[in-house]
Each structure stands twice: as structure tokens, then as C-alpha cells.
Amino acid sequence: MLSTLDVIEGVGVREKVRKSRLPARLDLLQSATGLFLALFMWAHMAFVASILIGKDAMYTVTKFFEGKYLFGQSYPWLVSIVVAGVLTIFIVHAALGMRKMPSSYRQYRAFRAHMRMMRHDDTSLWFVQAYTGFAMFFLGSVHLYIMLSGPDKIGPYASADRVFSGWMWPLYLLLLLAVEFHGGIGLYRLAVKWGWFEGKDPARSRARLKHVKWGITGFLLALGLLTLAAYLKIGYEHRHRVGERYPPAGITAPADPAGSAAPAAPAAPGIR
Ligand code: HEM
């Protein structure tokens, strides 16, 4: 026997409606896509931060994702397939997130007034999450489209050229701040919502969770800023040879006969 609710609409229509499970299912989907994206970003940070180990390390990670060590040669379109998957999950998560955003200025003002009155940490955290989520609609989409359409332009020099000479660093800086705050708060809210790590004293576990959350966010922000600084440094040093690809270990790039700001001669065959 289905439970029913009587609802009186504004125009006075009395209607019997089925209690929908859809909102709960959408919440579950939002949690699942959020969890996937947060864990993906931890892995992503490890891959792009490989530049801190060295150019060869980042080159190796890049070639790994192009399938070079599995298939004996590189297929950059493999990266596009992964990006397409991440982009789909990113869009689904964003669409589900929009359900919770204030949909009018009046709602926004009411929420802000509530937040100021409550001075409740988790309510303020939610506002930061909504704000950073909104920012990533734009910042994340630009990055993902560049990765989707140019998977063959990833590498120690290619990425550094994009960050410095391609002026991607301001976007990456804002995106880094947005994704680390959003992801950190998101994982914390997931843990609270689904009762993970709750233990016998929920209030104490929640306080501990919050410390862990800020610790992880601080660590990832520091690592991300160091990584961005590394790409900027390489990009600055390489600013006169934009477009030249990084030669793997054991192969030296042809000397730049002009030694000038003019772009370098196309790389010899076998140099990627
Ligand atoms: C499969 C999907 C993705 C791929 C293949 C990818 C690839 C890359 C690569 C190669 C870089 C190094 C810089 C460059 O080459 O321009 C980078 C940097 C970055 N990506 Fe992604 N990315 C992906 C998804 C995302 C998502 C979903 C976000 C956040 C919403 C993100 C945020 C960033 C940030 C903030 C940086 C700068 C990192 C730093 O220097 O600290 N990426 N990404």
C-alpha cells in the first residue's frame, strides 16, 4: 500500500500525489559523482605534480596515459576518452548541484541572512561550496575542453608553454583554489551526511573530520601551488622555444641555430 500525501496547491486544487523517491535518488547520484570527482582530483594532482620530481617523470606519466608502455606507441585519443568520461560526470554533478543553489535573488538574500544569523560553520561551508561549484562551471569547462580537444599537447614543455606563454596560469590558480575548497568541503559533507567515521561520539568525530578536511585541503593547495610554480618556471625558461616538444631521456633536442625568440625548428623525428 503506497503512502500518499494530500497537497493543496496555491490555486486550491486538492490532489493525491505519490511520495517521490526521485529527490533521494538524485542526492545519492550527486554524492556518488562528487565522491568520484574528489578522488579523481587526488589522482590528478599526483599526475600533474610529477613535474616536481622532474621533466622525465612527467613525460613518463604522460606517455603512460597515451598507452605507450601498453601498446608500444602513443594514442593521445585515449586521454580524450578519459576526459570525455570525466566531463560527463562533471556535467551530471553540476546539473544535480544546481538543484540546491538559490534560484532567485530573493532566495540568495534569504540564505545570506540565514547564514549571518546562524553563524553556523557547516552552513557557511555550504555557501563556499556553492560559490566554488558555480566558479567551476566556467573554469573547469575551459580546462576540460582544452584537454579533450588537444590530448597530444600534454607534456613537460607543452604543459609549461600552455601555463606560461599560453596564459593559462590565472585560470589554473582560480581553478585550483575552487576545486580544492569544493572537493574538501564536499568530502567532509559526504562523510557527515552518510555517517562515515561517525564513531561513538558524533560531535567529536565531526570536529576531528573538520580538522582532517582542512589538513588535506591545505596539503593539496600547497602541492598545487608548488606544481603551478614549477610549470611557470619551465614555461618561462622555455618561452623562446614555444612549441618544441620535450625530448625523452637520452635524446637531446636540436640546438636552436637562431638562439633567438623565434620559435624553434620543428623537432627531429622521434622527439615528442
Ligand atoms: C581527465 C580529465 C583531466 C585531464 C586529462 C587533465 C590534465 C591536466 C594537465 C595535463 C595539467 C597540467 C597543465 C596543462 O597541461 O595545461 C592539468 C592541470 C590542472 N588541472 Fe586538470 N585535467 C583533467 C581534469 C581536471 C578537472 C576536472 C579539474 C577541476 C575541476 C582540473 C583542474 C586542474 C588544475 C587546477 C590544474 C593546475 C594544477 C597545478 O598546476 O596546480 N583538471 N590538468
Q: Which domains does the chain have, with CATH numbers?
A: 30-241 (1.20.1300.10)
Nearest-atom index, ligand 1, CA of 83: 1
How many residues make up the chain in this entry?
272
Q: Mark out the alpha helices in the chain (DSSP H runs).
A: 22-48, 55-65, 68-71, 77-98, 105-118, 121-149, 156-163, 169-193, 202-237
Q: What are phi and psi of 256, to 5 degrees?
A: -85, 105
**Parts of the chain with a pLDDT under 50:** 1-2, 6, 256-257, 260-272
pTM for the full model?
0.85
How much is the pLDDT for 263? 47
Nearest-atom index, ligand 1, CA of 158: 15
How much is the pLDDT for 268? 45
Which residues sit with their C-beta closer than 6 Å to ligand 1? 44, 48, 79, 82-83, 86, 90, 136, 140, 143-144, 147, 154, 159, 162-163, 168, 172, 175-176, 179, 224, 227-228, 231
Ligand 1 atom 26: residue of nearest CA: 140
The one-character DSSP state at 4 is E
What is the Cα–Cα distance from 40 to 130, expressed in whole angstroms? 20
How much is the pLDDT for 76? 97
How much is the pLDDT for 30? 95
List C-alpha distances in Å: 169 to 65, 80, 174, 232, 260. 23, 22, 9, 8, 25
What is the Cα–Cα distance from 210 to 216, expressed in whole angstroms? 10
Q: How far is the CA of 258 from the centre of ligand 1 (A)?
A: 33
Ligand 1 atom 1: residue of nearest CA: 83
Nearest in space to 165 (alpha carbons), one of 238, 264, 225: 238
